[in-house]
């Protein structure tokens, strides 16, 4: 398969235009309105306030606490600790570890919107919980998920999206998700060959596959920065190629999110485009069974 988005191969970074559609379905295909589809197409993301109810949030928070405290998971490769600390940063493959999160992943409000936007059945490419603790929660530096999924996982096209489900209030002070609007239309090709076993360090602090300062400045000059604060129960849907990140959290208020990645069943993974071997399946699933 030809590589339309080569990255980590040239000595200098480069910005190239997107070669894939953004929205594949119409308002008749799912829960999102025509105006919401147009906004997603233009900005690359959509903030849905109040999508989850209070009892659902309570149930999911209890499930996050359970997952973070399971002794067997503490030493499991799927559990990622904060850089330089012992607090849990992320737990991966949670839709297989938890029936509660599996039901959330199949919920029509999320999976239905993903099918509508991607124009096909979808499967879970990746799932995780992000637990940015109070006082010591570290930042997630600017990055495009698609760059890594393409280079290290073998995702051919940008026909995937993420759903970030807030289980705590996300406000300006505790490191909410930030996105550069319209950045999904530009692919930033990064520099530096992918080291073997890169995922073992990149899940705590990514050093390869991150954009250079000049490219970031150009994207921000064109689109600005949107800080996506929202109350618990809000959901952000965003395109796989959106440039996004979040600041550290030095407040007492933790920020807990469930993160689900839906990929089109017509965009199945192939061999990595820029790594010697694929990342483990708990990070990049190769079970293409559609979400029910």
Please report, in tens digits, the pLDDT of each residue of the chain (292 residues total): 789 999 999 999 999 999 999 999 999 999 999 999 999 999 999 999 999 999 999 999 999 888 877 888 877 888 887 666 667 778 999 999 999 999 999 999 999 999 999 999 999 999 999 877 777 767 778 999 999 999 999 999 999 999 999 999 988 888 889 999 999 999 999 998 887 766 665 555 567 788 999 999 999 999 999 999 899 999 999 999 999 998 887 888 888 899 999 999 999 999 999 999 999 999 999 999 999 9
Measure the CA–CA gap between 141 and 134, rounded to whole angstroms.
Answer: 18
CA-based end-to-end distance of the chain:
29
Domain annotation covers residue 271: no
Query: 80: domain range?
Result: 14-264
Query: Cβ contacts of residue 185 below 8 Å, gap of 6+?
Result: 17, 18, 22, 44, 241
Q: Is 251 exposed, middle or buried (0-12, 13-18, 19+ CB in 10 A)?
A: middle
**Beta partners for residue 143, in sequence order:** 244
Domain annotation covers residue 6: no
Cα 155–chain centre separation: 14
Q: Are 163 and 280 in contact (CB under 8 A)?
A: no
| Residue found under tokens 């990070």 | 283
What DSSP character marks residue 119?
Answer: T
Domain annotation covers residue 256: yes
CA distances from 114 to 66, 118, 167, 237 (A): 28, 6, 20, 9
Domain annotation covers residue 291: no
Domain annotation covers residue 285: no
Cα 188–chain centre separation: 17
What DSSP character marks residue 85?
Answer: S
Domain annotation covers residue 62: yes
Return phi, psi of residue 196, to 5°: -65, 140
Q: Is 31 exposed, middle or buried (0-12, 13-18, 19+ CB in 10 A)?
A: middle
Domain annotation covers residue 114: yes
Total domains in the chain come to: 1
Tell me the torsion sign for CA atoms 222, 22, 128, 273. Answer: negative
- Domain with residue 153: its CATH number is 2.60.120.620
35 SS3 class: helix
Domain annotation covers residue 239: yes
């Amino acid at each position: 398969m030809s590589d339309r988005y080569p990255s980590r191969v040239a000595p200098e970074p480069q910005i190239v235009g997107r070669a894939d559609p953004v929205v594949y379905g119409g308002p008749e295909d799912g829960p999102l309105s025509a105006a919401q589809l147009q906004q997603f197409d233009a900005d690359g993301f959509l903030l849905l306030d109040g999508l989850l109810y209070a009892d659902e949030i309570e149930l999911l928070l209890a499930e996050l606490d359970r997952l973070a405290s399971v002794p067997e998971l503490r030493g499991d490769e799927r559990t990622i600790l904060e850089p330089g600390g012992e607090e849990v940063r992320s737990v991966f493959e949670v839709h297989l570890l938890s029936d509660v999160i599996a039901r959330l992943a199949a919920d029509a409000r999320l999976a239905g919107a993903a099918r509508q936007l991607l124009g096909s059945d979808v499967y879970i490419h990746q799932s995780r919980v992000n637990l940015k603790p109070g006082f010591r929660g570290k930042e997630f530096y600017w990055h495009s998920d698609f760059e890594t999924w393409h280079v290290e996982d073998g995702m051919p096209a940008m026909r995937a999206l993420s759903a970030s489900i807030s289980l705590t209030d996300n406000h300006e002070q505790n490191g909410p998700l930030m996105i550069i609007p319209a950045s999904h239309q530009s692919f930033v090709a990064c520099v530096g060959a992918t080291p073997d076993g890169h995922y073992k360090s990149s899940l705590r602090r990514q050093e390869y596959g991150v954009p250079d300062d000049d490219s970031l400045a150009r994207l921000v000059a064109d689109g600005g920065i949107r800080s996506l604060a929202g109350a618990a129960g809000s959901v952000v849907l965003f395109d796989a190629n959106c440039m996004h990140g979040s600041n550290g959290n030095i407040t007492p208020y933790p920020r807990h999110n469930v993160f689900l990645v839906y990929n089109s069943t017509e965009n199945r993974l192939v061999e990595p485009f820029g790594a010697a071997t694929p990342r483990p399946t708990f990070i990049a699933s190769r079970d293409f069974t559609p979400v029910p």
